[in-house]
A and B are shown apart, each in its own frame.
Chain A
Amino acid sequence: MTRNEFLLQIDDILGLQPGTLRGDEKLEELENWDSTSLITFIALADSNAGVAVSPAQVVNCTTVADLLRVARVENHSN
């Protein structure tokens, strides 16, 4: 899964318009980022990127880019 595809999925989790997130957003400033979206993110990383992300790893993330890094999403746009 590409970086852009994964960002679109996180948009979806947070109820944002597709294309809203760019990666540099701080998680604490995102209105819908809560424990529910965190758990959904873990399930998404597992099913779509095949990466087992632990809740502790996600708790330590501060930006959307950190999420992409723990989900080992390629850092290219296509």
Chain B
Amino acid sequence: MTSEANTLRPGARRAPQLPTALADLLRNRKKLKNELLEQPNLLSTRIAILGGSTTTEVKSMLELFLLAQGIKPTFYESGYNRYYEDVLFENQDLWNFKPDIVLVHTTWHNVSHFPELMETESEVEQRIDHEMTRFRSLWEKIHSELGAVIIQNNFDMPRLRPLGNLEASQPFGRANFLMRLNAEFANYSHTHSRFFINDIHYLSAQVGLTEWFGNSYWYSFHMALSPTATVALARNVAAIVKSIYGKSKKCLVLDLDNTLWGGVIGDDGLQNLILGKDHAVGEAFLDFQRYVKNLQRRGIILAVCSKNDPENAKEGLSHPDSILKLEDFAAFKANWNPKPGNIREIAEELNIGLDSLVFVDDNPAERAFVAEQLPEVAVPDVGSDVSMYAEILEREQYFEMDKLVEEDLNRAAFYSSNAQRKGAESSFKNYGEFLASLEMTAEIGPFAPVYLERITQLINKTNQFNLTTRRYTSAEVEAVAQDPSFVTLYGRLTDKFGDNGLVTVLIGHVVGEAVEIDVWLMSCRVLNREMELAMFDALIEQCQARGIHRVVGTYVPSKKNGMVAKHYGTLGFTRVDTASGGPDVWNFAVPQTYSAKTRHIRRTTETVLAAAGEEPVAVSSGV
């Protein structure tokens, strides 16, 4: 047992958990709120709730669920059913509030005109156009004038069906009409990166329409959602907000015996494991593996943490029915050491924070031990019934994603390639020889529209190699990309093991003859690969091309970015005297002749804008 595993770091404390019983949640909400507000390092955000119905309860519950995610909201609430007028007529209170996020809380009650009986397809089509025009004008004004991210409810279904089953099948049926509107909302979200659907169509089905809507709540208070439904909605919106701020989990750490298969591989042997369609419980394990595999396909990193001999553990994954294979796991800890220590090592190997991990184990003692020792790690109480594991993981919405971009799909491959890279590292005489063997190529250039989503995602998710931890909304990223008073650079890195994707971002503000670096960050998966040097080389080229004589770097210490405290010093910057307790400020004089610092990365020929607004200039560089 390692001493590290047994030592709880001072100050580390698990955030209070929200009760699952509705009455407990409602009754204790004030106490829970006060407890949650005591958490350190809460992230602040400003949310405007524009309601098509009464939103007091929505606000109250949303506040709790956001605090439980480490996000402290400040709210603006529109008047009852003023969601449209507040925006279109520019309510000054809303404008002065300057929301980061606008939640448009509408339901089927807010559809202005449902089709009349026997209306033709073209008449119904006109009604859809009319509704969409109304909502589009709302969304576009929010985006263009408030600059806020939008979370928009799609539509739930009315509980009553005067047309019976024809409601769903006939174009003039209300259910049919609402489903078509939902499809139109979804289409809008495909083409607008700062627009997110809060899927209350699904939530109402999950809760059940009888529970979702209560006549008495509607007639007494014009609440379109029952208290049960409000909790489901708040949980879902909080998950979306969490993903927007990059606080979703990244890695699923799994036990093996009785978690991924039934039985104990070391005792029962491969042939006696319960896994496969010929056994009721075996099929449930198979389905859980399929669920995990689907998470991995969309970018969730998988790791094993099992008390087993390593060879036995690996043998289990060679079971002919096993959907998960050894190569699906980016980290593999099978030994007899305490699990908290192993999990800490997994986080270190993968270069991700402990707060990015979710640990699933059928053994309640192991769960309790990990939960106590590593409060940052999410440890759901999955029980011991495998058929419920996926349900419980789903309920917590650990892995909610705001957008799915190509880098997400390739992430699992990145990490298994990283394992290969680490294997290769040990066979070289020195690190330089290893880097040379990777045959790395970098593409570095100013922000391009095709990369803006990924750039925004990186800015809002990167914590460790991040000099300032300043977050930008999509609108702000778009704005600096077009603003000639900013220098913007992204970097992609490929090597002989694969494409690492877009891994680094730099934003500098040009002030006179200096550029002040506001954002410089890099994914830790390319740490110690000279990519930061390649970015610096590109920045200096930009400075030389634009007549910038000085680079000003700022390091703002955070709980997680200690690794870059000496970054500017290492690059040759000189530290400026600053007030104690303030950020570190560093200066670098741009030389007339500059020797590239990168030794082992070849830069592709890319287009570099000498200055925004000028014709692109082809630049060829490399080593």
A contact set with B: CB distance below 8 Å: 9, 12-13, 15, 34-36, 39-40, 42-44, 46-48, 54-56, 59
Q: How far is the CB of B207 from chain A (nearest CB, A)?
A: 15
Tell me which residues across on chain B come within 8 A of A39, comparing CB atoms.
Answer: 26, 57, 217, 227
Cβ-defined contact, B27 with A9, below 8 A: yes
> Chain B contacts of A34 at CB under 8 A?
56
Taking a contact as CB atoms under 8 Å apart, the answer to whether B27 and A44 are in contact is: yes
- Chain A residues closer than 8 Å to B60, beta-carbon distance: 36
Q: Interface code B56-99, partner A: CB below 8 Å = 1, 0 otherwise?
A: 11001000000000000000000000000000000000000000
Secondary structure at the A interface, as helix, strand, loop or mixed, is helix
**A55 and B57 within 8 A (CB):** no
Q: Which of A9, A15, A42, A56 contacts B227 (CB 8 A)?
A: A42
Q: Assess A44 versus B23: contact at CB under 8 Å? Given A36-B57, A56-B216, A56-B219.
A: yes
**With A36-B29, A39-B57 given, can you name 4 additional A-B contacts, CB distance below 8 Å?**
A35-B56, A35-B221, A44-B27, A47-B21
Q: Which of A12, A48, A56 contacts B220 (CB 8 A)?
A: A56
Chain A residues near B57: list those with CB within 8 A. 35-36, 39
Interface residues of B in 1-51 (CB under 8 A from A): 21-23, 26-30
Q: Report the bound CA distance from A69 to B402 in whole Å.
A: 48
What range describes how many residues of B lie at the interface? 10 to 19
Beyond A36-B56, A59-B220, whether A46 also contacts B27 by CB under 8 A is: no
Give the residues in chain B near A48, CB-CB below 8 Å.
23
Shortest beta-carbon distance from A58 to chain B in Å: 8
Closest-by-CB residue of B relative to A47 is B23
| Complex Cα gap A62–B427 (Å) | 81
Name the distance in Å between A30's Cβ and chain B's nearest Cβ. Answer: 14
Q: Are A40 and B220 touching (Cβ within 8 A)?
A: no
**A40 and B29 in contact (CB under 8 A), knowing A47-B21, A47-B23, A48-B23?**
yes
Q: How far is the CA of A48 from the CA of B26 in the complex (A)?
A: 13
Output the nearest chain A residue to B28 by Cβ-Cβ distance: A12
- Chain A residues whose CB sits within 8 angstroms of the CB of B219 once the complex forms: 56
8 contacts between A and B (CB under 8 A): A12-B27, A35-B54, A36-B60, A43-B22, A43-B23, A44-B23, A47-B23, A55-B217
Q: Contact: A55 with B27, CB < 8 Å?
A: no
Instruction: Please report the C-alpha to C-alpha distance between residue A34 and residue B220 in the assembled complex, in whole angstroms.
Output: 13
Instruction: State A43–B26 Cα separation when bound (angstroms).
Output: 8
| Cα of A47 to Cα of B28 in the assembled complex, Å | 14
Q: Is the CB of A54 within 8 A of B220?
A: yes
Neighbouring A residues of B56 by C-beta, 8 Å: 34-36
Asked if A44 contacts B26 (CB within 8 A), the reply is: yes
Interchain nearest-CB distance for A16 vs B (Å): 11
**A21 CB to closest chain B CB, in angstroms?**
15
Chain A residues with CB under 8 A of B54: 35
Residues of B within 8 A of A54 (CB): 216, 220
